Amino acid sequence: MSAGGPGAAAEAEEAVRTRLARAGRRVAGLGVATVETAGRLRALAAAASASEGARERARVLRDASRRVLELHGVEVEAEGPLPLGAALLASNHLSWLDPLVVASLVPCAPVSKVDVSRWPVIGAIARPDDIRFAAALPKTRSGKIMRRLLKDVASGAVTQGDTSTLEDLNVLAQLRADEE
């Protein structure tokens, strides 16, 4: 007989059932969110322009990130102003939640190191057009130039203007090659 008696065993069993039911709801919710997201992304294949398609993919990622955080009971509160237009947000994230939080707040097109594409589960999910993988980001002393270059890559525009402070043009070429 257990130390707590039959009542304690029944409570423990009920707690396990409750946790399993909650986990089941999360898994089912993630499945539904995945199917809905995949459907929205498939519909974007016929987007009128590359830049509009990129903006809509960013909105799809934002909505999916919000849903995943909601399913896990994560409430996001932002302090201070969020970028309204094109912006470069650099983050050395500490957990798997950080990219979801950023994407839930601001429509974005993530850039990640190439080794993330080989991670189990995440790598397979991250393979669509939403995330570009690179061995390195274009390094420059100017954040303004960096934002312009990444915006050009994301929108499919031809890079014009000053690239003289860019450390390695091959990185930019690699990002473009991955787009095609």
Residue spans of alpha helices (H) in the chain: 5-43, 50-71, 97-105, 122-125, 143-155, 169-179
Q: What is the pLDDT of residue 75?
A: 92
User: What's the rounded Cα separation, in Å, for the pair 127 and 141?
Assistant: 30
User: What's the rounded Cα separation, in Å, for the pair 121 and 100?
Assistant: 15
Has residue 129 got a pLDDT over 60?
no
Looking at per-residue confidence, does 45 or 106 come out higher? 106
Predicted model pTM: 0.57
Instruction: Give how far the C-alpha of residue 27 lies from the chain's centroid of Cα atoms, to the nearest Å.
Output: 19
Looking at per-residue confidence, does 51 or 167 come out higher? 167
Has residue 76 got a pLDDT over 90?
yes
Q: Which of 95, 96, 94, 126 is nearest to 111 (CA)?
A: 126
Has residue 179 got a pLDDT over 80?
no
pLDDT digits (tens, 9 = 90+) for 1-47: 456 677 888 898 999 999 998 888 888 888 888 888 888 877 876 66
Residue 108 near residue 102 (C-beta atoms within 8 A): yes
Max CA pair span of the chain: 79
